[in-house]
């Protein structure tokens, strides 16, 4: 097996370069505000309702005022457990769902693209732990640059009031 880097093939054939590692992935929950704030949680696996509720509870607790949250239509965002949790907290959090298949309206998609671009520009992570550290590091870097986060909310398709 050839690692990413040099390779060769018989004349006239395209060389095939195979990675030397297994594909690793992490889950990411995040919230961006039009004021330039970023909150995030990096997960080892897929996002599930109890984890989402824990994240939302932290958002509500730290906000100090009522939150207006815009979510996409991912199944976990509409789960019965999440809806029940939200029902008892209408005075502290109100959720709005984007139309189906509309990532162009979601400023968090801009953050997601930024994280993916930054992490893949670095040398490849050789383990899930390395990938997780890279994502957390980039999120911390982003959280110190509110102007960058505000830019996600001001891009033309998903412009939100300041």
Nearest residue to 25 (alpha-carbon basis) of 43, 41, 4: 43
Distance (Å, whole) CA 142 – CA 149:
7
Which residues does 156 contact at the CB level (< 8 Å), separation at least 6?
A: none
Q: Does residue 13 belong to any structural domain of this protein?
A: no
Which residues does 141 contact at the CB level (< 8 Å), separation at least 6?
A: 118
Residue 77 has pLDDT above 80, yes or no: yes
Q: Does residue 128 belong to any structural domain of this protein?
A: yes
Q: Does residue 11 belong to any structural domain of this protein?
A: no
Distance (Å, whole) CA 126 – CA 107:
30
Asked if 66 and 80 count as a contact pair (C-beta separation under 8 A), the reply is no
Poorest-pLDDT segment among 44-53, 120-129, 131-140: 120-129
Q: 22-52: per-residue pLDDT in tens?
A: 677 889 998 887 788 889 999 988 899 999 9
Domain that holds residue 136: 27-158
Q: Does residue 96 belong to any structural domain of this protein?
A: yes
Highest mean pLDDT among 6-20, 64-78, 108-122: 64-78
Q: Does residue 71 belong to any structural domain of this protein?
A: yes
Residue 21 has pLDDT above 70, yes or no: no
Which residues does 54 contact at the CB level (< 8 Å), separation at least 6?
A: none
117 to each of 18, 122, 134, how far by Cα in Å? 21, 9, 12
- Span 128-143, average pLDDT: 91
How many domains are there within the chain?
Answer: 1
Return the pLDDT at 64. 85
pLDDT band at 1 (very low <50, low <70, confident <90, very high): very low
Residue 87 has pLDDT above 80, yes or no: yes
Return the pLDDT at 43. 93
Poorest-pLDDT segment among 16-25, 56-65, 112-121: 16-25
Which residues does 66 contact at the CB level (< 8 Å), separation at least 6?
A: 91, 92, 93, 94
121 compared with 84, residue with greater pLDDT? 84
């Amino acid at each position: 097996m050839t690692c990413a880097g040099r390779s060769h093939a018989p004349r006239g054939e395209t060389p095939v370069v195979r990675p030397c590692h297994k594909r690793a992935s992490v889950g990411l929950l995040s919230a961006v505000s039009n004021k330039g704030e970023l909150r995030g949680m990096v997960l080892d696996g897929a996002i599930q309702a109890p984890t989402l509720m824990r994240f939302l509870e932290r958002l509500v607790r730290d906000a100090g005022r009522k939150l207006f949250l815009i979510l996409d239509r991912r199944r976990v965002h509409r789960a019965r457990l999440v809806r029940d949790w939200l029902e008892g907290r209408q005075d502290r959090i109100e959720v709005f769902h984007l139309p189906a298949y509309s990532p162009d309206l979601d400023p968090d998609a801009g953050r997601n693209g930024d994280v993916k671009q930054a992490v893949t520009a670095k040398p490849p992570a050789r383990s899930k732990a390395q990938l997780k550290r890279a994502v957390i590091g980039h999120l911390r870097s982003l959280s110190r640059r509110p102007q960058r986060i505000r830019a996600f909310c001001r891009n033309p398709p998903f412009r939100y009031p300041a």
